[in-house]
């Protein structure tokens, strides 16, 4: 708080650019006879003009000067009327001296109305005290209004030494350069002083001073500024146009984008109601969901209508325009919140596309709840067509565009971490599909397009996709066989884990062809596990490490089981060899017996036995071909079957 006392000489002469009519006063009666000629060129202030102000009185909308000399000038500022003496005011304010004062209707002095006076009646009251030579108190709250008001009234040094323009300018320069808090106070007081504060460079000087102090604190204090956030709160309390100028100045000084992003986030949470509202989990789906309004507040209080919403929309668009271009500047969660607010405020399509691109750049850092963007129905948009595509609970098209922007960004980057990003995004997308699959109005086309948005190589395991498909089949029981087959063709049965294959083999909702494919793949995996073969590599080694579905404990358990199976196989082989050895021994004994039988058979087939009846022999010969043919036919049928 500074206190400045002004003193004025007892008598002085003020030369006017325009002649004023003579005013009857005590000094004019005691003057010389040529006083009328003097009035046409100048105004002579009597010695008692300064001492006439004993005090001031306020009465509702009126402001009076306590004085023995009657007042002769009435000045109206907004709804307050100031009744004062003309001479002290004209001696300091060149603007009032140049005006053609109109006689009062009540035939008492003159009347004047100041339109668009900066600072209002409060600033004019302080100026009147300065004109009457009373003590003047300057502080950061009134310095900007007084500087603008003194410029309006043209209170320059040309009219009087030590006039108010020079005093306020010196004090303003000192305050802006010295104190952070005082500079914030001065900048807040400029919010109602447009365009005077802009033309006098008060706003520019304050913004540059704040930016310089903030960037200096960042370079010296470092991360302590991020912990305390002291200047974030001060800057977030300003009007949006002043905030943008400060952020622009801070960015020009090379401040880290993360710090700028945190400041923007704090400003958005303060001025945009609904930014701190969380949409936790999926909502219940029902027939009346088109009328459902989600719990994001537009900040419209009682008595506040479209103008208030338009103001918030302007703040929202301004914040989006100053977001740093670096992906690490703001988190993905904040960008998705801004995207939801863009839907609430019915922002332009260009702004929505900009936010979607920024989300696509950092999509791997999102979570499922952040991606649940509802289909908002604002009061300004009553053009919704009653179609199944537009009555879905969540906005599927936005997520599809975000995934496309993500793929475009990954293609441009071409970095080794590209596989890791696609793997995390594939899991995120599968979880999102599982949530939105419960919507009874979600068409199979939308589900299929979103599921196929990522390339096949992005998924190393289709368990998550299988879960989403199973959820869709469960909540859409009236699907035809053709649609179920079409839906199941999205997943690759060869990428399912053993647990998923076991579940799918017993799933009655799956088509029969899909179940057969799952069983075939399951058998191949079991056979590979029994033989101790490693699974075929899909992609590079880094992708396998990231997308590995089994934990280390499960792997150790599986290896132990395989070792046990190998030991059992070894024992079985040993038993088999022993049995085979025993069989060979028995077979050798049988061969010895068969040699004796062969000799006896030879004797039976000799000529002695051929002397028997030919009828019996011919009958036996005829029976042999029939028995051989019967056996051949039986073997052929077995082979064909």
Reported as a single tens digit per residue, the pLDDT across 543-552 is 444 444 445 5
Residues 242 and 187 sit within 8 Å (Cβ to Cβ) = yes
Q: Please choose, from the candidates 114, 133, 134, 111, the residue with its C-alpha nearest in 3D space to the C-alpha of residue 124.
A: 114
pLDDT at residue number 632: 43
Residue 243 has pLDDT above 90, yes or no: yes
Residue 104 has pLDDT above 50, yes or no: yes
Q: Helix, strand or coil for residue 377?
A: coil
Residues 517 and 493 sit within 8 Å (Cβ to Cβ) = yes
Lowest mean pLDDT among 119-123, 140-144, 404-408, 626-630: 626-630
CA 190 to chain centre: 31
> Where does the pLDDT of residue 94 fall: very low under 50, low under 70, confident under 90, or very high at 90 and above?
very high
Phi first, then psi: give them for residue 443, nearest 5 degrees: -75, 155
Q: Please choose, from the candidates 190, 192, 208, 209, the residue with its C-alpha nearest in 3D space to the C-alpha of residue 200.
A: 190
Lowest mean pLDDT among 2-16, 282-296, 554-568: 2-16
pLDDT at residue number 6: 41
Q: What is the CA radius of gyration of the chain?
A: 48
Section 204-213 average pLDDT: 93
Beta bridge partners, 74, equal 83, 111
> Where does the pLDDT of residue 11 fall: very low under 50, low under 70, confident under 90, or very high at 90 and above?
very low
Alpha helices, DSSP H, located in 76-140: 86-92, 94-97, 120-131
Residue with tokens 């799956």: 510
Q: For 599-625, how does the pLDDT look when each residue is reduced to its tens digit (9 = 90+)?
A: 555 555 554 444 444 444 344 434 434
> Mapped to the 3 state alphabet, what secondary structure does 192-250 carry?
HCCCHHHHCCHHHHHHHHHHHHHHHHHHHHCHHHHHHCHHHHHHHCCCHHHHHHHHHHH
- Alpha carbon distance 423, 417 (integer Å): 10
Q: Helix, strand or coil for residue 84?
A: strand
Residue 187 has pLDDT above 90, yes or no: yes
- Alpha carbon distance 146, 169 (integer Å): 10
- Alpha carbon distance 526, 532 (integer Å): 10
Residues 221 and 271 sit within 8 Å (Cβ to Cβ) = no
Section 153-161 average pLDDT: 91
């Amino acid at each position: 708080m500074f206190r400045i006392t002004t003193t004025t000489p007892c008598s002085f002469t003020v030369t006017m650019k325009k002649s004023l009519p003579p005013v009857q006063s005590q000094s004019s009666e005691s003057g010389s006879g040529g006083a009328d000629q003097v009035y046409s060129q100048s105004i002579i202030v009597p010695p008692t003009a300064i001492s006439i102000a004993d005090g001031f009185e306020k009465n509702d909308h009126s402001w009076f000067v306590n004085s023995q000399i009657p007042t002769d000038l009435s000045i109206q500022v907004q709804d307050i009327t100031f009744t004062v003496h003309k001479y002290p005011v004209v001696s300091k304010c060149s603007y009032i001296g140049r005006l053609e004062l109109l006689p009062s209707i009540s035939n008492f002095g003159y009347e004047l109305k100041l339109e668009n006076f900066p600072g209002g009646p409060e600033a004019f009251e302080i100026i009147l005290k300065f004109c009457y030579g009373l003590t003047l108190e300057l502080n950061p709250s009134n310095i900007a209004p007084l500087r603008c008001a003194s410029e309006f009234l043209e209170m320059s040094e040309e009219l009087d030494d030590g006039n108010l323009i020079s005093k306020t300018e010196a004090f303003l320069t000192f305050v802006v350069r010295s104190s952070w808090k005082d500079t914030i106070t001065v900048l807040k007081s400029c919010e109602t002083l447009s365009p005077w504060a802009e033309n006098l460079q008060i706003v520019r000087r304050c913004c540059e001073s704040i930016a310089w102090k903030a960037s200096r604190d960042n370079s010296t204090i470092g991360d302590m500024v991020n912990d305390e956030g002291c200047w974030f709160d001060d800057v977030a309390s300003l009007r949006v146009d002043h905030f943008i100028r400060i952020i622009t100045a801070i960015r020009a000084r090379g401040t880290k984008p993360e710090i700028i992003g945190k400041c923007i986030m704090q400003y958005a949470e303060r001025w945009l109601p609904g930014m701190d509202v969380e949409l936790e989990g999926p909502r219940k789906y029902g027939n009346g969901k088109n009328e459902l309004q989600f719990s994001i507040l537009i900040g419209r209080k009682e008595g506040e209508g479209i103008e208030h919403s338009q103001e918030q929309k302007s703040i929202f668009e301004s914040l989006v325009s100053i977001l740093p271009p670096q992906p690490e500047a703001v988190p993905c969660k904040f960008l998705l919140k801004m995207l939801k607010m863009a839907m609430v405020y019915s922002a332009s399509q260009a702004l929505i596309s900009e936010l979607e691109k920024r989300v696509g750049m950092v999509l791997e850092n999102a979570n499922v709840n952040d991606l649940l963007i509802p289909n908002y129905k604002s009061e300004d948009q009553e053009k919704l067509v009653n179609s199944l595509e537009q009555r879905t609970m969540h906005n599927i098209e936005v997520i599809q565009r975000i995934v496309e922007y993500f793929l475009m960004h990954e293609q441009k980057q071409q970095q080794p971490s590209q596989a890791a990003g696609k793997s995390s995004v594939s899991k995120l997308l599968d979880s999102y599909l599982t949530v939105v699959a419960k919507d009874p109005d979600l068409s199979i086309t939308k589900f299929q397009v979103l599921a196929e948005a990522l390339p096949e190589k992005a998924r190393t395991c289709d368990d998550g996709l299988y879960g989403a498909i199973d959820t869709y089949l469960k909540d859409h029981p009236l699907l035809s066989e053709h649609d179920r087959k079409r839906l199941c063709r999205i997943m690759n049965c060869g990428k399912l884990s053993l647990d998923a294959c076991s579940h799918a083999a017993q799933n009655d909702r799956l088509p029969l062809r899909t179940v057969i494919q799952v069983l075939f793949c399951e058998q191949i995996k079991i056979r590979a596990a029994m033989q101790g073969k490693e699974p075929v590599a899909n992609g590079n080694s880094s992708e396998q490490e990231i997308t590995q579905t089994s934990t280390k404990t499960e792997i150790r358990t599986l290896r132990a089981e395989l070792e046990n199976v190998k030991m059992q196989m070894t024992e079985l082989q040993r038993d088999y060899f022993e049995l085979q050895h025993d069989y060979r021994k028995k077979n050798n004994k049988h061969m010895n017996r068969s040699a004796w039988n062969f000799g006896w058979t030879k004797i039976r087939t000799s000529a002695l036995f051929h002397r028997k009846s030919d009828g019996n022999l011919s009958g036996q010969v005829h029976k042999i071909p029939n028995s051989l043919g019967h056996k051949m036919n039986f073997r052929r049928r077995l082979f064909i079957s």
